[in-house]
A and B are shown apart, each in its own frame.
Chain A
Amino acid sequence: MMEQLTSLLQSNVVLLLCGVLLILFAAAGAPFFALIAAVAMLGFARAGYDLTGIMVEFNRISEMPVLVAIPLFTIAGYLLAESRTPQRIVRLANAAIGAVPGGLAIVALLACAAFTALTGASGVTIVALGAVLLPALRQGGYDDRFNLGLLTTSGSLGMLFAPALPLIIYGVVAQQLNTNPPVVIQDLFIAGALPGLMMIVALAIYAFIKAPRVPIAERNRFSARELWHAIKDSIWELPLPFVVVAAIVSGKVAPGEIAAVTALYVVFVVLIVRREVKFNELGRVMREAMVLVGAIMTILGMSLALTNMLIDQEIPTKLFEFVQSHIDSKITFLIILNLFLLVFGMLLEGFPAIVILTPLLLPIAIGYGIDPIHFGIIFVANLQIGLFLPPVGMNLFIASMRFKVPITQLIRASVPFFLILLVCTLIITYVPALSLGLLGR
């Protein structure tokens, strides 16, 4: 029966039919892991391989040391989101820079970026921080349209900062392709710093311009006392980002180990020192965290099989030859890449986009002389704005549910923010030094 299937799949008509069917299933909302598994199985069957190979590849998710980082960071992130850490971050940032014009908006940007970097899943940021920040911004006299746009956008800000999961996942998938130079996850962390910072600075300037012009007396004035209290209040959370950054820069600690220390520390602080999550709530929080881990990593596991199949069939090479015969300049390729990533980033919602598109696109990018580390940063930057790209960016739906505002209103509110980040992404794409400078490449 297997031989018949193999010979049946040699026909292009049959393959085309399978492709159309899979696209229909995808549009109907079928789970990504099942779609990826189906493509991998078709590929294996067509080449006449035993389909057990799919599950051999799938099982490799338990054999890569770096992947232990994903459940650990997710646990840490979900616990932090359940605790009062978001409120404390906002209080501290507000005490430090709240008095500057636009300060409150900049607080929102920084708090969201820090939180997304630590939790990875950007939907969590809108849910956890939105409830704190929206009333604060309204009280600060900001225009509501500005507030909604800012918070919807901030939900994906910070994806370029270590130890955000998108960079780790890109690194894991890219490593399967044995690129030259190799993709080291710590390098991705360092490369993401300046591009991520540029996005925050650009949005901060916009916030400064749009800030309400109220007399200084009515704004909360800077108070050293409040700053001191805010620092004391967040004394347990404060060391965390510094430890993570120091560990990454030292280059001696693997991502899995950083994740282990982060998770252990967060469990200790939230459960034992602060007691903001009770032991009997731990089961629910852990379950929610593991649902996300299960959903992401089944996709990743199936995509390992898919990547293996694609490489075996030399599809990336063929795709590169095809693309190269139509596009001869690197610049044209990059423009098309940007458009492509924006649309697919919107449709595939971050993680799935990384695992599906990296094996196909990275070999092409390398063919055009793009550094694989730079490509990873371009990729994640595009996904970040794809996440709130109208009409179906995921964060628009999350923000709409969270703030109880119609999506159309959020779309209008997000336009200026989208344009600013689009310009940033173009700069990131066409100025490789921004990503690679700190690595000395």
Chain B
Amino acid sequence: MHRIEDALLALLATALVVIAGAQIGARFFIEGSLLWADSLLKSLVLWLVMLGALAAARTDSHLGIDALTHSLGPKGQRMARFAAFSFGALMSLLAAYYGLELVRFERESPSDVHGLLPSWVVLLVIPCAFAGMALRMAHSAVTQPEPK
């Protein structure tokens, strides 16, 4: 599962570099623009951000103030960790719920019709990734961090 996730990230990131490069090439050398590329690049950025955020939740890499809990004892640190990640999980769950609403709205009245896929399918990554983040953060809330 982790390997599929990593492979997908690498694939999409490579695609981003190639397509963004191709678009510039098109602008400078054939003085045209690739209409399909524009829409595809936007979708790629969204997917990379969401899958990156999901991967960040796996390794507890989301940014937060972690310096203040250093001075706490082991028990205090466990409690702070539980509070911080439960809160993160709860907000991710809310984001997933409202992300699903967004997908529903988009399906009823699409905002972009130039893409290869219907735009609501592209947006599905938002609720899916946030739901995954909620699960991972809930798991982190009750487990100890891996030694780095």
What B residues does A31 contact at CB under 8 A?
Answer: 62-64, 84, 88, 137
B83 within 8 A of A: yes
- Kindly state the separation between the CA atoms of A58 and B85 in the bound complex, as whole angstroms: 21
Q: Is the CB of A260 within 8 A of B54?
A: no
Whether B83 and A30, one on each chain, are in contact in the complex, defined by CB atoms closer than 8 angstroms, is yes
- Min distance, Cβ A401 to any Cβ of chain B, angstroms: 8
Contact of B24 among A35, A62, A257 (CB under 8 A): A257
The verdict on B13 contacting chain A, using a C-beta distance below 8 Å, is yes
User: Given contacts A58-B126, A62-B43, are A32 and B20 in contact (CB under 8 A)?
Assistant: no
Q: A25-B84, A295-B53 are in contact. Are A30 and B64 (CB under 8 A)?
A: yes
B46: interface (CB < 8 Å): yes
B contact residues around A294 at 8 Å (CB):
48-56
A297 to B27, CA, bound (A): 27
For residue B148, give the distance in angstroms from its CB to the closest CB of chain A.
8
Q: Cβ of B14 and Cβ of A282 under 8 Å apart?
A: yes
Give residues 76-98 of B contacting A (CB, 8 Å).
Answer: 79-81, 83-85, 87-88, 90-92, 94-95, 98
Chain A contacts for B59, CB-based, 8 A:
291
Task: Let me know if A438 is at the binding interface, CB within 8 A.
Answer: no
- The answer to whether the Cβ of A55 comes within 8 Å of any Cβ in the partner chain is yes
Whether A263 and B17, one on each chain, are in contact in the complex, defined by CB atoms closer than 8 angstroms, is yes
State how many angstroms separate the Cβ of B115 from the closest Cβ of chain A.
11
Q: Tell me if B121 is interfacial: C-beta within 8 Å of chain A.
A: no
A30-B84 contact in complex given A286-B9, A295-B63, C-beta closer than 8 Å: yes
Cα-based distance from A260 to B10 in the complex (angstroms): 16
A263 CB contact (under 8 Å) in B7, B20, B62, B88: B20
A29 and B49 contact, CB distance less than 8 A? no
Let me know if B105 is at the binding interface, CB within 8 A: yes
Q: Which residue of B lies closest to A401 (CB)?
A: B148
Interface size on A, residues (CB 8 A): 64
Task: Verify B62–A32 contact, CB threshold 8 A.
Answer: yes
Chain B CB within 10 A, most for which of A24, A59, A263, A394: A59
Among candidates A37, A55, A349, residue contacting B126 with C-beta atoms closer than 8 Å: A55
A427 to chain B minimum Cβ distance, whole angstroms, is: 29
Q: In the complex, which of the residues B7, B9, B13, B88 has the most CB atoms of chain A within 10 Å of its own CB atom?
A: B13
Cα separation A263 to B19 with both chains bound (whole Å): 11
Q: Closest CB-CB distance, B46 to chain A, in whole Å? A: 4
Complex-state Cα separation, A51 to B81, whole angstroms: 28
Asked whether A287 lies within 8 Å of B101 as measured between CB atoms, the reply is: no
Contact B52 A30 (CB under 8 A): no
**Quick check: is A146 within 8 A (CB to CB) of the other chain?**
no
Contact in complex: A301, B92 (CB < 8 Å): no
Contacts of B56 in A (CB 8 A): 291-292, 294-295
Which of B18, B52, B69, B105 counts the most chain A CB atoms within 10 A? Answer: B52
Query: Contact: B17 with A291, CB < 8 Å?
Result: no
* A348 on interface, CB distance cutoff 8 Å: yes
Chain A: minimal CB distance from B12 (Å): 8
* A293 cross-chain contacts in B, Cβ below 8 A: 48-49, 52
* Bound complex: CA A155 to CA B55 (Å): 26
Given the known interface contacts A34-B91, A41-B94, the answer about A71 and B48 at a Cβ–Cβ threshold of 8 Å is yes
Contact with A along B26-70 (1 / 0, CB 8 A): 010000000000000111011011111111100101111111110
Complex-state Cα separation, A257 to B10, whole angstroms: 21
A-B contact pairs, 29 of them (CB 8 A): A29-B69, A30-B84, A33-B63, A34-B92, A35-B64, A51-B98, A52-B98, A55-B126, A58-B95, A59-B102, A62-B49, A71-B16, A72-B17, A75-B13, A75-B16, A263-B20, A264-B17, A287-B10, A289-B13, A291-B55, A292-B61, A293-B48, A293-B49, A294-B49, A295-B53, A295-B56, A299-B63, A301-B49, A394-B67
Known: A51-B94, A283-B7. 10 other contacts (CB 8 A): A52-B101, A61-B46, A61-B49, A62-B46, A68-B16, A257-B20, A261-B21, A283-B9, A294-B53, A298-B49
Binding site for B on A (CB under 8 A): 24-35, 37-38, 41, 51-52, 54-56, 58-59, 61-63, 67-68, 71-72, 75, 256-257, 259-261, 263-264, 267, 282-284, 286-287, 289-299, 301, 347-349, 351-352, 391-392, 394, 397
Q: Which residues of B contact A (CB under 8 A)?
A: 6-7, 9-10, 13-14, 16-18, 20-21, 23-24, 27, 41-43, 45-46, 48-56, 59, 61-69, 79-81, 83-85, 87-88, 90-92, 94-95, 98-99, 101-102, 105, 123, 126, 137
